[in-house]
Structure formats: structure tokens, C-alpha cells
Chain A
């Protein structure tokens, strides 16, 4: 049935959004920075994933390397760009982030070419027929599955492990956390690493689904993710997940039925603005 298919497609897109937005919300929750350059790590992950997979023939290795490289890249970004700017008003970090993002998009274009890169042997293409006319590529199913798993693991880690609780404490009250002996720097490094690794991971998924990585592939996620974290309530992991999935579904229906009036981005942002007017703190804000 069409409606079910659309919902499924929305969830697939939403999963990708969620992976990217998570990293952003982790950073925002911690530092109140709109980390636009986060999307550059998404693109970086995509390129690394494709290159490593093409070179080694192994997709899992590609995923691993992409997450690793992006994670490290994120920490580097934090140390180089944001840490020195923590005491500045937020727009400084925003513009610095924008500059970094533009520069990185261009770097990708100059190094890897404007025409993009594809997998030499695309995988996970097998079809899964689920009855009722529903048919998915293995990749599509896996992206939803992996997103759910990762988020589940993260949520568990956040509430059950020392590190996770330390992160939560730092978000709520950095001073207090520090006085309890929590290393702020460590928490920040971890957050950036995890968030950026997720973005890199998402980049490889997108590369698989489209069989294309391009220098500009981060443009749309850069601002969509911002909308999602606001929608979800800044800093809330479950909120971001819900907002991302919801947005994916809204876009799925919107592009088909409202396509004459608004384009895809406009639909997403119309939804965002509508929600904010009713609930200015976002859908699932924490106190």
C-alpha cells in the first residue's frame, strides 16, 4: 500500500537524518555551538568509505575507517576551531564553522574532482520482498536497523556507564561536573568523536544508497540537521531521533502531495516553524 511505502521511505531518510543530527545535538548540548561544519565530516566519511571499500573490496572495513577518520576529524575540528572560541559569543563559532565548511567542500572538490566518486562494486543491493508490494534494497533495511541499534546503544551508554553519566552531567551543569572530578576536556573529546563518527558512518550509507559521493553532498544535511536538533529539543538524544524520523516521514508525504506548492526544504522548514510557534522549546525539550 502506498501509504505504508511512503512511511517506510520516510523512515529510511529519517534514519540518515538521525545519524547526522545526533552528532550535532551532542555537540550543541555540550557547547551551545551550531556546528555547521559537522556536515563536512559526513562527506569525509562518504569519501573515505568509498575509497577504502574500492581499495580493499571490503565494505565493513570501509565503514570502520570512515567512522574512525570522521571521528578523529571531529576531535581535530574541536581542538583547532571551537575550543579556542568557547568564551566568545555563539555567532563567532557559527561563522568559523561556516568558513570551515565552505573550505572543506572546496577541498573535496579540488582533491577528488567535481564529478564525484562511486563504488566499483556496489553491494547490499539484494532485494527483499516483504509482501504487499513492499520491496527494499538490503542497504535500505540495514540503514534503519543500524540507526536503531546505535541509538539504542548510545542511550544505554548515556544512562548506564560512568562515561555516559559524566557526559550527561557535563551537559546539565559543567561547573558542577568539573567539581566532581569529571574531565571536561575528555567529555568534549568523546562527544565530538562519537558524534562525528556517526556522521561519517551516515556518509557511507548515503554513498551506498545513491552510489555517489560528491563534494557538495553535505550541503543539505548541514542545515537540515540544524532544523532537526531544534525540532527535537536541543541536546536531547531521543528527541533528535524522533524529530529526524518524523521529518523524514513528513518530507516523504509532502514531496508527493505538496510538491506543487512547496519544495522539499520548504516543507521541512514550514513544519519546523509551525512546531516552534506552538512549542518554542522544541518537541521534546529537556527542562
Chain B
């Protein structure tokens, strides 16, 4: 689906046809964007697209890059590798994108990463957390903390809350499993005892048996991975059954829809995420306000991460004056960014080092609870590994 910046699209077609032409004054810088607009991940895809569009609109409003406007070339990959591969191929060959952003899940992003790496097109990943993505090569960048890192952060939060006995509820996909892996890795070192782990699938919304079992386990705290459409029902059902132990979620919960679905049951839920609603940081405040103005709804983590990834790519382009390739890669890698999800810098594997924001649901909104800042514990993997 081509982005809706209509009166440029005719020019785009002409520009694409002229492969070797010198840059005409009205040429566009094309930024590829793969996102699930249909299929099971469409809910996140919508947020992601809004975040990315906002970043592009803001950049264009400030004059674009080197006198050229940025065009977001959007492809619906349905969050499957089968659609992501032809989309990425097309972006590289037909659209000749100068950089690309992933607004999609890990499976599709990983498949697309191989293609962008081969074509030497920098690919900035918003929220897909699979380790193999950055291992695909040096043209890959990720602006979110990896699953394992977040999982370790979750364990630290449990320790900070003074809890010892944990039950893990893990979503059966790479996201959930990476989180669980990180948690399990850090738990013993932090004196946390995992008494049980349960798994559930993406389509599950009714957790009756799970809830009963957890109740009988009687943990101090529950570490549950999921997205708002699974976490909302889960948290609601846990509280309805009389389970009072605090629940720690992650950025998958990070959406106003979670609070809407779970209602009063959501009060007191902790999440480890990158978006601090109470942040004093100008970048965050501005983003939250702008997003609400543009879309009439609250921003969530997916939107914030997609905005960030897009903005990072654009900043790199500004530095290279619109050139791509190795120059763009190096410009992005060297940069220091002030983004809604925090101050970012990339390590040698192009992962970010940053703190983890802990938010808690209070009075029907996410409020800041604390920040987990433990460089050793939260260190992302490096090339050495």
C-alpha cells in the first residue's frame, strides 16, 4: 500500500523509472516500511504505521532532508515471512528504497533482514525482538531492547518489589519465549524462585484453567507475557478469580486498550517498557501530544518504537545529505538520539543500551513507577558474543 502523500506519487513513478538519472529537484527519498496491516497482528500494525507516519510528516514539515521530501513506502507483510520476503525484495529492487524500517513482528522482520543486508540497505527495526535480526549483518539496527534483556529487567523488578515466588505465564511465540528466557536467566542470581511456568497461544482469550491453577500455586508475583489483547482478558480473569498477587507485564501490554479491556482489574499492573507517560523528557512529551493530536488516541509502545525507528533512519539521512549505503549505515551507527523511548546509542552489534521504564496502571492510566538502570544486567549482546 503506497503511502498517502498523493500528489507526489506520480512523480515517484517517474523517478523510479529513471534509474541512473541525476537527482532531479523534485525527487523523493524513499523509506521502506513493512508492517502487518492485515492478519493476526493487524492491531499492532495500525499503531506502528501511525507512529512511522508521524515521524515522516514531522520531518517533511521541517523541510525534509537535503531539500527532498521523504516518502514512506508501506508494505503489508501480514507478519509472515512469506509476505515479508517479496515485499522486501520489491522495496529494494523496484522502489529502490534508501533505507527501511520494520514495523512488524520478528518472523517477518528476520526474513526481510537478510534481503536488506544483502542489498546494503540500512534496516532499522522498531520492536521485533529476535536476536537473529541484528546478527544478520551490520546494516541492521534495533531501537528496542531485546526480549532477553527485558526479561532480565522483569526479574530485577520482581526483586525490587521484594517478591520471591514467581509464576511465569508465557505467550507461545518468540516474544514471549525470549522474555521468559531472560527472566529465567536472571532469576536465580536475584534470589527469585520460579515455582511454575505455563504457556498459552496467541488466539487464547479465556484462561479459566490457567487462572485456577495459578490460584492454587499462590505465587507472590506473576510474570505474564502477552499483548494487550491477551493480557487484558488474562489480568481481568485473574483478578475476578480472586488472585491478588501483583502482575508484571511488558511492552506488549503497553497500550490504552489494555486498560480499556481489563477495566478496574488493570489497576496496579506493572509493565516493563520503553515509554514513560510521566516523562519530563521533551522528546517524549512532544511525541505523546503530537500522536494524540494526529490520531485522536493515546500512543502505545509500538507506535513510539516505530516513530523512533523511522526518526533514527531520517536523522541518519540528514547526516549523509540523503545518501544511502555504507555512509548511511555508519551515520546511523555513530549517532546519539533523543527519542520518545529514551536517549539511544548503538553498540557494536547495533543494539541499544538503555534503561527500562517501569510503569504502573494508576487511575486508569500508565504512570511512572520506577526506572531499572543496571548496565550490567541489562547489557545487550555485543559482537563479541
Contact = CB atoms under 8 A, between A and B. Distances in A.
A255 B210 contact: yes
A234 interface: no
Given A210-B233, A210-B261, A256 B209 contact: yes
A189 interface: no
Interface string A240-259: 00000000000111011001
A212 B172 contact: no
A209 B241 CA distance: 12
Interface in B34-76: 38, 40, 42-43, 45-46
B206 interface: yes
Contacts of A206: 205-206
Given A115-B46, A211-B232, A211-B236, A219 B208 contact: no
Interface in B177-196: none
A241 to B, nearest CB: 19
Interface residues of A, number: 44
B205 A212 contact: yes
Interface stretch (B212-220, B317-325, B348-356): B212-220
B263 to A, nearest CB: 6
Contacts of A118: 257, 260-261
Dominant secondary structure of chain A at its interface with chain B: helix
A36 B213 CA distance: 33
B204 A116 contact: no
B199 interface: yes
Interface in A201-231: 206, 209-212, 214-217, 219-220
B240 interface: yes
A114 B209 contact: no
B311 interface: no
A212 B237 CA distance: 12
A54 interface: no
B337 interface: no
B242 interface: yes
A118 B236 CA distance: 13
B335 interface: no
A264 interface: yes
How large, as a class, is the contact surface on chain B? 35 or more
A209 B206 contact: yes
A150 to B, nearest CB: 20
B229 A255 contact: no
B264 to A, nearest CB: 9
Contacts of B206: 12-13, 16, 206, 209-210
Contacts of A125: 240
B40 to A, nearest CB: 6
B203 interface: yes
A123 to B, nearest CB: 11
Interface stretch (A2-10, A76-84, A86-94, A174-182): A2-10
Contacts of A238: none
A110 to B, nearest CB: 9
B242 A135 contact: yes
Given A114-B43, A116-B43, A259-B198, A212 B261 contact: yes
Contact of B201 (A140, A256, A265): A265
Contacts of B172: 263
Interface string A102-113: 000010010001
B43 A115 contact: yes
Nearest to A133: B215
A13 B212 CA distance: 14
Contact of B229 (A106, A116, A220, A265): A116
A168 to B, nearest CB: 33
Contacts of B40: 216
Nearest to B196: A256
Given A106-B38, A211-B263, A264-B204, A256 B240 contact: no
Interface in A127-159: 127, 133, 135, 137, 140
Given A214-B43, A264-B200, 5 more contacts: A10-B209, A113-B46, A114-B43, A214-B229, A264-B204
Interface of A: 2, 5-6, 8-10, 12-13, 16, 106, 109, 113-116, 118, 122, 125, 127, 133, 135, 137, 140, 206, 209-212, 214-217, 219-220, 251-253, 255-256, 259-260, 263-265
Closest 3 CB pairs of A and B: A9-B208, A114-B42, A5-B212
9 contacts: A2-B213, A6-B212, A115-B43, A127-B240, A212-B205, A214-B43, A252-B209, A256-B209, A260-B199
